[in-house]
Amino acid sequence: MLRKDPFITGEFYHLYNRGVDKRTIFKSNRDYERFMMLLYLSNSNNPFRLDDILNKQQKTFSDILIMERGNPLVSIGAWCLMGNHFHLLIRQEMDGGITRFMRKVGVGYSMYFNIRYERKGALFGGLFKSKLIGVDDNYTRQLLGYIHINPLEIKFPDWENQVNRPTANMKHFLESYRYSSYSDYIGENRLEKNIISTKSFPDYFETQKSFANFIASYLIKV
């Protein structure tokens, strides 16, 4: 299948996918952590078997997020995992990098999920979706905000109509939500920060240090 926007080294992309038939793809904390470990370890040309690392080498989630990986295939600027889908904001760092990275993540997680839940068949709704984005346009700023405040839909279903008047409860919910890079942007010291690398992204990625800034960036009109 040919993509509308081919993957070009040095360019930036919004990547996303959801479970087949919108099914849940993350059922437990263990599932979310498995995907996070894959986001980190898959970002390298080096081969690995995550089950061997976990079981034979007796590595923990924390151990894996500080392992040496080698040269990265992509730079991840932002990520968010939801119950039935995920979002990634990515820059390709070497030719074929996105394709190799996403294949490792997708195949690795699908195999884990099917074994754990004793199911067969495709887990995701076809090939992951991608959109080429320009790093200096309003869409990218809006996307950076959208990815990080997307989890609000879990507790605040009408969040897109409330985002013009965000509440302290919204802010506290996002701060407690582990499964995105939001906490890494607002300065929380956690190992998950090793998943992202903002040095390849525009300076404004480094200025998003508050809930208000993420809301503001989401509200920018494209």
Q: Which residue has the tokens 């894996």?
A: 64
Q: What is the pLDDT of residue 222?
A: 40
| pLDDT score of 6 more than 80 | yes
pLDDT > 90 fraction of the chain, expressed in percent and rounded = 79
Q: What is the mean pLDDT of the chain?
A: 93
Question: What digits encode the pLDDT tens for the residues 67-94?
Answer: 999 999 999 999 999 999 999 999 999 9
pLDDT digits (tens, 9 = 90+) for 116-175: 999 999 999 989 999 999 877 788 889 999 999 999 999 999 998 888 899 999 999 999
48 pLDDT above the threshold of 70? yes
* C-beta of residue 4 within 8 angstroms of C-beta of residue 70: no
Q: Per the structure block, which two tokens stand in for 143?
A: 């996307």
Residue type, 209: K
Beta pairing partners, 16: 87, 129
φ, ψ for residue 80, nearest 5 deg:
-155, 130
Only one residue has tokens 């074929």, namely: 96
pLDDT of residue 221: 57
**pLDDT given for residue 4 in this prediction:** 75
pLDDT confidence tier of residue 191, bands split at 50, 70 and 90: very high
Whole-number percent of the chain with pLDDT over 70:
98
pLDDT confidence of residue 122:
95
